[in-house]
């Protein structure tokens, strides 16, 4: 018999809000976290704006000791630990230094890369024959599983502690991996999420591919324009999102706040066949991923009230909408509401799926659908498929019951998850 799996804790480090209260306010009010980045201009990037979380030393000191911060240079781990520990506390779970690990709790916390700035720093020291000066935490900061290892130690987790990595689908995939582990009875609780480093050494490759926005360097908040006719590429971003996921019985036993229920989902790949490639999605695979997620969740396509799309502000936005219409068998005025968080945060890469899933869950929990900023000029290819009113420009109080969240990543990989407003 399948278990009911719920979300009991949320934590976020996003460009437009650090912490759940600030992030919730930002997405409701359409507040952007995209800013001019002087370093990108100095390095002669075409795109000189970015979505980068704003952290204070005071906030960082609440999560890391002075000793831990000595020689520390990994924004991804920093973001992930802060988001993860916020989610843990938000779930009403204690952070105590017990001798015994918590055998029932684990973490699946994804990452695209880890400590790329620390890597660069280390390479220079090695090249200068200073290998003995690398310090004792280089490995922990630069191994891809560094973020889950740090969280596992700070929270004393005794169940699975691992890091997944699937490009821009990473966060959504991590949630589904956590769902599966709990569903199979191997854990009661998993801290699921993902993180992404900040900076030019992460973003440079995308700038070289000419997929980043370069026309709005003087007007950063208008730079990220998903579904817009004037979209000019994505704005690079970073951050982390974390969700505490557990079985309903355990959550009710401890009187936890329940933010939403996970009905199911699906992960697949287009195999880089058909119209799929390393950088482009196979449309048939995308449609199959969505359809299978709906089937696995025991709902119908007509039950979906809103979609939180991948929608990066590239030429693929129209194709994504087309794939949704085909997978759902819904178009025009029958199409669900759809939005893209990237209009306010930019594309947070490995962190995108988890940060955007938190936005989806908050919409269910608080009964709203956030607006798509910078989309006053909806692309004509999209208006030919769906009613423009289904792409709200400002927050509406529509009280959605079921939201579909999808992510699509380099390597032609896809993930779709179905969230539902919790009802006993």
Whether residue 238 is found in the same domain as residue 270: no
> 84: exposed, middle or buried (C-beta count within 10 Å: 0-12, 13-18, 19+)?
buried
pLDDT of residue 17: 98
- State pLDDT tens for residues 159-218: 999 999 999 999 999 999 999 999 999 999 999 999 999 999 999 999 999 999 999 999
Boundary residue ending a domain (260, 284, 319): 260
Boundary residue ending a domain (228, 260, 292): 260
- State pLDDT tens for residues 251-288: 999 999 999 999 999 999 999 999 999 999 999 999 99
Q: Which domain holds residue 374?
A: 264-420
Measure the CA–CA gap between 324 and 307, rounded to whole angstroms: 9
Whether residue 274 is found in the same domain as residue 231: no
Boundary residue ending a domain (260, 293, 312): 260
Whether residue 108 is found in the same domain as residue 226: yes
Domain count, the chain: 2
Whether residue 239 is found in the same domain as residue 271: no
Whether residue 136 is found in the same domain as residue 71: yes
Under DSSP, is residue 232 helix (H, G, I), strand (E, B) or coil? coil
Whether residue 185 is found in the same domain as residue 306: no
What are the residue ranges of helices labelled H in 188-282?
200-208, 248-253
Whether residue 157 is found in the same domain as residue 40: yes
- State pLDDT tens for residues 378-391: 999 999 999 999 99
Whether residue 354 is found in the same domain as residue 368: yes
Q: Tell how many helices (H) and how many strands (E) occur in the chain.
A: 16, 13
Whether residue 96 is found in the same domain as residue 41: yes
Whether residue 198 is found in the same domain as residue 304: no
Which CATH number is 282's domain given? Answer: 3.40.47.10
Whether residue 284 is found in the same domain as residue 196: no
Measure the CA–CA gap between 421 and 95, rounded to whole angstroms: 28
pLDDT of residue 228: 98
Measure the CA–CA gap between 2 and 191, rounded to whole angstroms: 20
Below-50 pLDDT ranges, the chain:
none
pLDDT of residue 128: 62
Whether residue 188 is found in the same domain as residue 279: no
- Residues 244, 84, 265, CA angle at the centre, nearest 5°? 40
């Amino acid at each position: 018999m399948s278990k009911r799996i719920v979300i009991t804790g949320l934590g976020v480090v996003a460009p437009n809000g650090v912490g759940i209260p600030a992030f919730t306010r930002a997405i409701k009010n359409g507040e952007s976290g995209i800013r001019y980045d002087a370093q990108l201009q100095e390095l002669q990037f075409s795109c000189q704006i970015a979505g980068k979380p704003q952290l204070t030393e005071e906030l960082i000191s609440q999560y890391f000791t002075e000793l831990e911060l000595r020689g520390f240079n990994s924004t991804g781990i920093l973001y992930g630990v802060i988001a993860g520990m916020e989610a843990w506390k938000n779930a009403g779970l204690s952070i105590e230094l017990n001798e015994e690990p918590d055998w029932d709790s684990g973490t699946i916390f994804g990452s695209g890369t880890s400590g790329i700035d620390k890597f660069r720093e280390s390479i220079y020291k090695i090249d200068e024959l200073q290998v003995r000066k690398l310090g004792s935490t280089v490995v922990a900061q630069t191994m891809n599983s560094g973020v889950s290892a740090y969280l596992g130690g700070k929270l004393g987790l005794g169940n699975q502690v691992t890091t997944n990595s699937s490009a821009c689908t990473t966060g959504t995939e991590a949630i589904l991996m956590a769902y599966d582990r709990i569903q199979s009875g191997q854990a009661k609780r998993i801290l699921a999420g993902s993180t992404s480093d900040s900076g030019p050494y992460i973003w440079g490759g995308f700038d070289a591919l000419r997929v980043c926005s370069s026309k709005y360097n003087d007007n950063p908040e208008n730079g990220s324009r998903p579904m817009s006719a004037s979209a000019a590429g994505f704005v690079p971003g970073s951050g982390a999102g974390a969700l505490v996921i557990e079985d309903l019985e355990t959550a009710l036993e401890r009187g936890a706040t329940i933010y939403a229920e996970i009905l199911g989902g699906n992960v697949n790949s287009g195999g880089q066949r058909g119209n799929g490639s390393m950088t482009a999605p196979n449309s048939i695979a995308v449609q199959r991923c969505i359809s299978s997620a709906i089937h696995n969740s025991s709902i119908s396509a007509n039950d979906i009230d809103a979609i939180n799309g991948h929608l990066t502000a590239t030429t693929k936005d129209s194709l994504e909408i087309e794939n949704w219409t085909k997978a759902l068998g819904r178009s025009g005025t029958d199409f669900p509401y759809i939005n893209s968080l990237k209009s306010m945060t930019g594309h947070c890469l490995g962190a995108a799926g988890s940060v955007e899933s938190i936005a989806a869950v908050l919409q269910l929990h608080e009964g709203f659908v956030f607006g798509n900023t910078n989309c006053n000029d909806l692309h004509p290819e999209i208006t030919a498929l769906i009613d423009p009113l289904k792409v709200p420009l400002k927050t509406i109080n529509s009280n959605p019951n079921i939201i579909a969240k999808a992510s699509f990543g380099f390597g032609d990989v896809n993930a779709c998850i179905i969230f539902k407003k919790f009802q006993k």
